[in-house]
Structure 1
């Protein structure tokens, strides 16, 4: 019992000491973040000061006795633009000119004539030094004592390079100034105080002490940090008694004491656990198999028999994973074969008809048209047998244009095809040869009996989805009664099937049609900047 008590005492003392040191170290990091926030606030305010000091209209407002109507309009515009610079700074701006003019951003600061402000103790204190920028503490009103909330004042002398023509003052309420540290420090654990160089408390978690005097000896044991360019020092005192209570050290000590009393039983328990834990681990891992998790192998440990079981289980997982990997690989290969087969299904009659038409052009001595047709045919064949499965939209449109050139040999100029596409989309990737079959359908089925017609191809991107619309003004069909040749043809069926294989059922080729109004085929795929994730 005595030994157990001594052990508890040592553990409690060491735990308290370690926990307190660790908390103080972590609090150092928090205090550094607080110092950085105050520095950022000061930098933001100084940027506004620089802006004010370099605006001619502000100088004119604070120096000249009279201003023209145009100058007043410019001033109002400038003040309106200036407001956006400090809208994120929790402060109130006051401008004071040597000509007697003042500007108040809001009603937080009591409004006084410039003559009274310039004669105030605060301005006298400000003018005692040659520094342009100062940070001062105001406990009440600018002119007289009042119950106004204490403020931190950021001040700047506005000069024309030689003489001071005005003053810019930022008033920040102490409650807003202190929010920077109260938001990061637990008030039940921390007593935080900020002193200026006159040893006056300018901000504190104990609000009743603000404005009173204190010395650094009053903060023995507190963590200290200088607030950058401020004439302030922050003292943070941690209430260690509250901190230790939060450790629940008494409960921990009781647990340790009870553990000491049953040490022999605990020792037996751990011996038993050492023998049986590998078995229980194996049971847990086996249950994961029902959740399709075959990658969680177990660590080989325990008795000889347990190790044999573990080895057998790991070997089984390796075999299962190998089997699944082979299935996935075979499925991907079948997937690629299906897509490539669909991609290669170009109607052989088209090739025959195209070559025959070219031959006729040669017989008719239309060599220029024949040469153009041959070039289009060569380019189309090159892209058809190109090993790339995904190509930029711009290349796909060029393939389609070549195809249209070949169709004109057979159909003449009675069907006009126009492409409308923004060049900014031409870098997007898509499976090749998905526009050409739809244009072919339009020529074959939309304009029977030598009808004239128009085919238009549009591309657009909306919410990261690429839409390609192929619109004809042909005979159309009734979608409620039949699907018509548009979708019964190999071309569009293949395109829709390919796109759903690649991207899922939300994508594909969608058709809308009305009798004697025409047909719209819309291709919908993700707008991809790089190669698609799956092998196309």
Structure 2
């Protein structure tokens, strides 16, 4: 659950970073798109102004446009135009407005009291008082310069529709959260985008046109701001209200935390439900084992209906108790008849290490589940069994292989679908007598030092073959290989006449096996260890039978 909460916090941090990046991308896009459109329109306006005064004849034509009425100006234009190039100012201005999304052009000459306002509806123009001339909206004013004197003799003001700029800004990421302002070099706001989003920015920018830098600092208290000075002197400002950004952050944090809480709650409920049933079964097993430890050997552990570790464990315990019951009964009968020899033979049928290792696994399992009481009961029960069991000194190879298979099977119960094994015993060797427990320590070494429980292809192969007058017994695995230094050290000790443990847990079992096999077969026995092609270890024992 802590992991899920931590994951939600990390995801929130990444989301906050993305929100800030998106905000910065939004205001940068607003500035860049506006700067581009304003630059293009300014260039178009400049080009129109140059065309109007490109030649002395065009300058004179412009002056006549002011001095004459519409009919006389048309006559003048016809008389002074080339045959193939009719120059008529209303046509030029109308064509410009149609091609460039302009909706009004205002012409003004210094020596004239009246300015002329041209629109698509009134291409001939309307005369207005020059002193009352006021430009609004997205406009561009260009002075008309006399090329000879370099003096301004008038101006042209071109008003553009804001649709082009509006449409461009609509494609900006998160445009609904953005405001854009275009402010002229004299502090007049010429364009606004999404001004209704927050009116604080508009009020701030209209306080004092001559203190733009101060006003930008004021804006930054409530907005994320990006500004840029355009080539024509316009100041372009793009802002996103901080309150909107913080609301997004708060919403996403709340969303992630609510998701984490819901997942945690679901997992808590699921685990509580699962472990509640688990605890019930474990408690019933504890009670049964308590009764058994108190002498009631007829009690059996309840077996859960569902398949799983507890089912396997309970079944195994019950099978073991049934076998013990039978053995105890037989032993008791032998005691009554005072047949000590037969009783010992019957007792030897009980595999002591098998029973002890099974009970030790149950005890460790109980400890892992936090059931110390169950662990103590099993430990006591194991001690009781060990005190009443004796062992044979030799067995057949068939019996030894049978025990090895049971020992591996126990590990398969603990780790299902993770361990595979194969046993191959030559038919000629099944009745061969060997010291008891010569294979189990080698398998135990693999389970202690070689097995990797993160893998699902763990395998061990045990075989015994007769080749001529030689018997070869090998235990091979695909676990962890030994270094060259380790192999040399172990093989040197195995080849020596000394029978004592080598440093390291792995070697104690090897030396134990060597000591007992040497005692049984003398110098006809050899033992060595090597790495194999399966990237694991192979232990080989060779017995020379002689003539």
Q: Same fold (TM over 0.5)?
A: no
Under a length normalisation based on structure 1, what TM-score does the superposition of the two structures give? 0.37
Pick the structure with greater CA Rg. 2
Relative contact order, CA 8 A, sep 6+: which one is greater? Answer: 2
Under a length normalisation based on structure 2, what TM-score does the superposition of the two structures give? 0.36
